[in-house]
Structure 1
Amino acid sequence: MAGGLVALLDDVAALTKLAAASLDDIAGAAGKAGAKAAGVVIDDTAVTPRYVTGLSPDRELPIIWKIARGSLKNKLLFLLPAALLLSAFAPWALTPILMIGGAYLCFEGAEKVIEKVFPHGHEAVVETVQDPATIENEKVSGAIRTDFILSAEIMAIALADVADRPLVTQGAVLAVVAIAITVGVYGVVGLIVKMDDIGLHLAKGGSGALRAVGRGLVKGMPKLLAALSVIGTAAMIWVGGGIIVHGLAEFGLAGPEHVIHHAAVAVGGGMGAMSGVVEWIVTATGAGIVGLVVGGIVAAVVIAIHRARGKKH
């Protein structure tokens, strides 16, 4: 009896170690996959606060909660099953889909750059009076639609990083990435949109040092939002460009990837301890140049189509 109990405990211990190792493997893979999607995550974080601009402060967090729930639904109920089906039955389609998503990111980023460099006038829009609930629902719906596109790119990037793993591991990693990124993005967004309220509260009711911090938060929030917008645009362009460069290499057109890599090594080689950082900057810059070119071409095509249809872009 004692020998059987010892054997059973050994089996339980072995299974526990195996489960722990699997969880560590999933967590590690999820962290790596999530890091590769960082550029899209930054853009998602930068884009979302605009959907609560101009609304009542007491509705800001409820609206962000609605968008977060919609985002999680996008990832877990629609994109995750679609990604697993793609991995199981059409893995060859992953790179083209990633490249299409990368081109879309480049287009979005390039469009923002073009608007900044060549601003054009906007016609006055006659607004009809709507009740707050209708405005809120429209903003939430628009945010969730935008989130779907960004979430699809995040899930595709994560899937590409674990495409050689078993299907169960892929599903677990994608679920962890989906939940972690959604919590992270919308937690940060909630903090950002309420930061000025926190600053105002500190400025009115805190001690001398806290009042100074509160005033700094109130004054600094517009600059932070502007910086997030710039970072988000840059992230879209370099991430999209990087996806396209890597995709071209997989299709046998490795020239751009080799040129960027050799340039990064040549510039960063003599930088000592800073070589890794410098190589990353050069690589991101090279990917950004490719992304800006691709995005500019796509934007030109879109504008031409709009003009051909007699519409203003």
Structure 2
Amino acid sequence: MPGGLVALLDDIATLAKLAATSIDDVAGAAGKAGTKAAGVVIDDTAVTPKYVVGLSPERELPIIAKITLGSLRNKLLFLLPAALLLSAFAPWAITPLLMVGGAYLAFEATEKIWESLSHTSHAEEVTEITDAKELEDRQVGGAIRTDFILSAEIMAIALNSLPPLSLPMQAAVLAAVAVVITLGVYGAVALLVKMDDLGLHLSARPQAYLRKIGHGLVNSMPYLLQALSIIGTAAMLWVGGGIFVHGLEQFGLGVIPHTIHDLAVAVSETVSFAPAVLQWVVEALGAAVVGLIVGSAIIAVLHVLPKKKPA
């Protein structure tokens, strides 16, 4: 009997170690996969605050909560099963789909640059809505639709970044990526949209240093949002171009990726301080240039060439 108890305790300890190892594997794989999706995450954070502009301040956090739930629904109920089915039955389609997604990211980023340089906008005009609930519903719906596209990119990048894993482990990692990234993005969005309120609150405090901090928060908000938008655009170019370059290499068209890598290595060898960092920067710039070329080609097809056709 004591021997059976010891054996049982040994089995429990073994299972506990296996469970702990599995959790570590999930956390490690989720962390690596989430890092690959950094560019999309930054852009998601930069895009979302516009959906609460013009709405009542007391409704900002409830609206962000609705968008957060919609984003989790997008990822966990729709995109996660689709990613698992793709991994199980059509793994050959992951790279082409990623390249399409990378081209879309590059197009989105390049279009932002094009609109900024040409002072044009392709945003759809919307009719004026006076009913507060209708306006809120429209904003939440638009945010969730935009989130679906960005979430699809995040899940696809995460799926492609995973090492060989069993289907349940893939599901666990993708679910962890979905939850952590969603809460991180919309937690950051909540802080951004309430930063001016916090600044106004501090501006009314009797302590001079608090008033100074409050004024600084309020005055820095436009610059912070603009900087975040620029960083998001650059990250989309880098990530989109990088996905496209990696896809070319997988299809045997390695001239571009090898050229970028060789150039990065050559540049990094010219310095003695942090050569690995410099190599990464050059490779990221090379990927961004590829993203800009791909995005420009799509813009030419969608926006420039149709205008030259005779009426």
Report the more deviating stretch, 112-121 or 69-78: 112-121
| Structure-2 residue corresponding to 1:9 | 9
1: distance between equivalents of 2:63 and 2:121?
31
Contact 2:52 2:63 in 1 (8 A): yes
TM-score by length of 1: 0.95
Shift of residue 210, structure 1, vs aligned partner: 1.5
Contact 1:76 1:178 in 2 (8 A): yes
Give yes or no for the alignment of 1:213 onto 2:209: no
Q: Residues 225-304 of structure 1 correspond to what in structure 2 (within 5 A)?
A: 225-304=225-304
CA RMSD of aligned residues (A): 2.0
Report the more deviating stretch, 238-247 or 50-59: 50-59
| Structure-1 residue corresponding to 2:88 | 88
Shift of residue 128, structure 1, vs aligned partner: 3.6
* Residues 169 and 296 (structure 1), Cα distance of their counterparts in 2 relative to 1, 3 Å cut: same
| Structure-2 residue corresponding to 1:24 | 24
Q: Which amino acid aligns with 1:216?
A: G
Contact 1:103 1:294 in 2 (8 A): yes
1:79 is paired with a residue of what secondary structure?
helix
2: distance between equivalents of 1:89 and 1:308?
44
Q: Which amino acid aligns with 2:28?
A: G
Shift of residue 273, structure 1, vs aligned partner: 3.5
2:99 is paired with a residue of what secondary structure?
helix
Contact 1:87 1:163 in 2 (8 A): no
| Structure-1 residue corresponding to 2:119 | 119
| Structure-2 residue corresponding to 1:106 | 106
Report the more deviating stretch, 83-92 or 260-269: 260-269
Shift of residue 304, structure 1, vs aligned partner: 4.9
Q: Deviations over 1:17-65 (max 9, x none)?
A: 0110010011000000000111110010111011111111111111111
| Structure-2 residue corresponding to 1:151 | 151
Report the more deviating stretch, 246-255 or 156-165: 156-165
| Structure-1 residue corresponding to 2:177 | 177
1: distance between equivalents of 2:310 and 2:153?
31
2: distance between equivalents of 1:121 and 1:81?
36
Q: Which amino acid aligns with 1:150?
A: L
* Structure 1 gaps, min length 5: none
Q: Residues 37-52 of structure 1 correspond to what in structure 2 (within 5 A)?
A: 37-52=37-52
| Structure-2 residue corresponding to 1:161 | 161
Q: Deviations over 1:231-273 (max 9, x none)?
A: 1111111110000000000000011111111111111123333
Q: Which amino acid aligns with 1:250?
A: Q
Contact 2:196 2:217 in 1 (8 A): yes
TM-score by length of 2: 0.95
1:171 is paired with a residue of what secondary structure?
helix
* Residues 289 and 214 (structure 1), Cα distance of their counterparts in 2 relative to 1, 3 Å cut: same
* Residues 22 and 310 (structure 1), Cα distance of their counterparts in 2 relative to 1, 3 Å cut: farther
2:274 is paired with a residue of what secondary structure?
helix
Report the more deviating stretch, 181-190 or 54-63: 54-63
* Residues 170 and 209 (structure 1), Cα distance of their counterparts in 2 relative to 1, 3 Å cut: same
* Residues 121 and 183 (structure 1), Cα distance of their counterparts in 2 relative to 1, 3 Å cut: closer
| Structure-2 residue corresponding to 1:191 | 191
Contact 1:163 1:170 in 2 (8 A): no
* Structure 2 gaps, min length 5: none
Q: Which amino acid aligns with 1:187?
A: G
1:92 is paired with a residue of what secondary structure?
helix
1: distance between equivalents of 2:60 and 2:28?
34
Shift of residue 125, structure 1, vs aligned partner: 6.3
Contact 1:196 1:221 in 2 (8 A): yes
2: distance between equivalents of 1:213 and 1:286?
40
2:173 is paired with a residue of what secondary structure?
helix
Report the more deviating stretch, 244-253 or 155-164: 155-164
Contact 2:34 2:177 in 1 (8 A): yes
